[in-house]
Chains A and B, each alone.
Chain A
Amino acid sequence: GAVVSQHPSRVICKSGTSVKIECRSLDFQATTMFWYRQFPKQSLMLMATSNEGSKATYEQGVEKDKFLINHASLTLSTLTVTSAHPEDSSFYICSAREGSDWTIAFFGQGTRLTVV
């Protein structure tokens, strides 16, 4: 399958600071990238969908000013958690796909964010 690289894999930050997570498609052009959040023992919850060159579409209940998504190129999307708080601590996972809605998306390795 296609390779999606996510960085960093783990980050600890102080409350009030911002954290940037990168998601790269290494061997294909990702026209669409998805950002998920997963709390312990819960399923993946879609936060937002980003298409290259356009604004991200956020799911209901996700604050777009808090979770900034940039998808400036066909191989890179970033998620910035601004003014992070302990309740933002979670496992953040990106996935990326090439082409139409019906192609399979592949997941990055995930980022464990801990806000202290």
Chain B
Amino acid sequence: QKEVEQNSGPLSVPEGAIASLNCTYSDRGSQSFFWYRQYSGKSPELIMFIYSNGDKEDGRFTAQLNKASQYVSLLIRDSQPSDSATYLCAVKGTGGFKTIFGAGTRLFVKA
């Protein structure tokens, strides 16, 4: 089992819709969870981080964390073509030393 799992996609949504990206992790002791956006040929850019169970909202983005289910998600409201990218889920495991990245989900927002 991979430590951080994401559906590779592509996930295709129409412009203006809600895009829902999901991630599961195996280390039950994980404390910190991150979502990065990566455009083709570029390095990852931090979008959000979340530490506590529940929802965290920042503009059009909402991160949701459920530690009991070992599940973290990212919702993008009012999706725009510029949101088309690969979204990487990252988890800091027990001890907080190393960050493990998922393989990423490719999102395509159709104009």
Interface residues of B (CB under 8 A from A): 31-32, 34, 41-46, 49, 88, 92, 95-99, 101-104
CB–CB B43/A93 < 8 A: yes
Q: Which residues of chain A have C-beta atoms less than 8 A from B92's C-beta?
A: 101-102
Given contacts A43-B88, A43-B104, A44-B88, contact A105 B99 (CB under 8 A): yes
Roughly how many angstroms separate A98 CA and B104 CA in the complex, as a whole number? 26
Least distance between B52 CB and chain A CB atoms (Å): 14
Chain B residue with Cβ nearest A106: B46
CB–CB B99/A107 < 8 A: no
Question: Which of A49, A106, A107, A108 counts the most chain B CB atoms within 10 A?
Answer: A107
Least distance between B91 CB and chain A CB atoms (Å): 12
CB–CB A46/B88 < 8 A: no
A18 within 8 A of B: no
Least distance between B1 CB and chain A CB atoms (Å): 15
Q: How large is the interface on A (under 10, 10 to 19, 20 to 34, 35 or more residues)?
A: 20 to 34
Q: Restricting to A34-70, which residues have a CB under 8 Å from any CB of B?
A: 34, 42-44, 46, 49
Other contacts beyond A102-B96, A104-B46, A110-B42: 5, CB < 8 A: A43-B103, A44-B88, A46-B99, A107-B45, A109-B43
Given contacts A102-B32, A104-B49, contact A43 B102 (CB under 8 A): yes
Of the A-B pairs whose beta carbons lie under 8 Å apart in the complex, a sample of 23, sorted by A's number, is A34-B99, A43-B102, A43-B103, A44-B101, A46-B98, A91-B41, A100-B96, A101-B92, A101-B95, A102-B31, A102-B32, A102-B92, A104-B34, A104-B46, A104-B49, A107-B43, A107-B44, A107-B45, A107-B46, A109-B42, A109-B43, A110-B42, A112-B41
CB–CB B41/A43 < 8 A: no
Q: Restricting to A51-98, which residues have a CB under 8 Å from any CB of B?
A: 91, 93
Q: Which residues of chain A have C-beta atoms less than 8 A from B88's C-beta?
A: 43-44
